[in-house]
Amino acid sequence: MSASTDDLALPVVHTHDARGVHRLVLNQPGKFNALSEAMLAALQGALDGIARDGSARVVVLSAQGKAFCAGHNLKEMRARPELAYYQQLFAQCSRMMLAIQDLPVPVIAQVQGLATAAGCQLVAQCDLAVAASPATFGVNGIDVGLFCATPSVPLVRNMPAKQAMEMLLTGEFISADEARVRGLVNRVVPLEALDAEVEKLVQSILLKPREAIAMGKALFYQQRETGVRAAYQLAGQTMACNMAHAVAQEGVQAFVDKRKPEWPAPAS
């Protein structure tokens, strides 16, 4: 039996340009870009590499084919019905998801099609998401008797609890427009405008200093998991450090001088 095109292709295509924009493309469309062990490992390796790249500014996560990501590879999972294997697999997936949050640069999901179960989780875990109008979203593991427990973690941090719970309990899909209303995605555009809309968002981020974004992203997620008093303490400390940094000093001086700021180059 000959190998399929997907079996021969890299699970994730990783490219970057001179601006520091890294693009990760899920590259197994024949398998609906399912999060197989190979796909998870490829994503983890790419994210770890970006974390070490001091010139990285933005990550765009997109996919080939009609589906963005159909979740875990159920055939692969069914072939090893062992608790220890499932624990290892979901731990591997959780590490990859947390690597997205831990990156010092924003990660944008560019969603052109179906995002279901762990694929919907992937969208929810990204810092920002832009969807094409045909895209649909669901956490429908319940349809095969599997409550989408790990996808629920970022899902309920994106949308109101009862709306997230309804999706988890019913397995029903929502449209891109509904995903925007609920807070799962930031923007919805026609499919033919998806690349341009993501590029607009990228350009907007590139105009801002990397150091301030890195400090702000770390604080954003840390304070969200704490009580309000601790959150204010963390936020105040972050703002003080940010204000003392050269980028903020230049930005404030530029405001006073009524000119555009000239951001200093990031420290290597």
Considering the chain, tell me which residue range(s) the CATH 3.90.226.10 domain(s) occupy: 5-206
Strand ranges for 91-242 from DSSP E: 107-111, 114-116, 128-132, 136-138, 174-175, 187-189
pTM, two decimals, is 0.92
User: Which 3 state secondary structure label does DSSP give 37?
Assistant: helix
Terminal CA-CA length for the chain: 50
Note down pLDDT in tens along the chain; length 268 residues: 445 677 778 999 999 999 999 999 999 999 999 999 999 999 999 999 999 999 999 999 999 999 999 999 989 988 988 899 899 999 999 999 999 999 999 999 999 999 999 999 999 999 999 999 999 999 999 998 889 999 999 999 999 999 999 999 999 999 999 999 999 999 999 999 999 999 999 999 999 999 999 999 999 999 998 887 988 888 888 878 887 888 888 887 888 899 998 888 776 5
Note the CATH number of domain 210-257.
1.10.12.10
Angstrom distance (rounded) from CA 145 to CA 121? 18
Which CATH entry fits the domain spanning 5-206: 3.40.605.10, 3.40.50.970, 3.40.1160.10, 3.90.226.10? 3.90.226.10
Considering the chain, tell me which residue range(s) the CATH 1.10.12.10 domain(s) occupy: 210-257
User: Which 3 state secondary structure label does DSSP give 185?
Assistant: coil
- Strand partners of residue 129: 109
Q: What is the pLDDT of residue 2?
A: 47
Strand ranges for the chain from DSSP E: 12-16, 21-26, 58-63, 67-69, 107-111, 114-116, 128-132, 136-138, 174-175, 187-189
Of 227, 231, 126, 141, which Cα lies nearest the Cα of 183? 126
Angstrom distance (rounded) from CA 63 to CA 123? 12
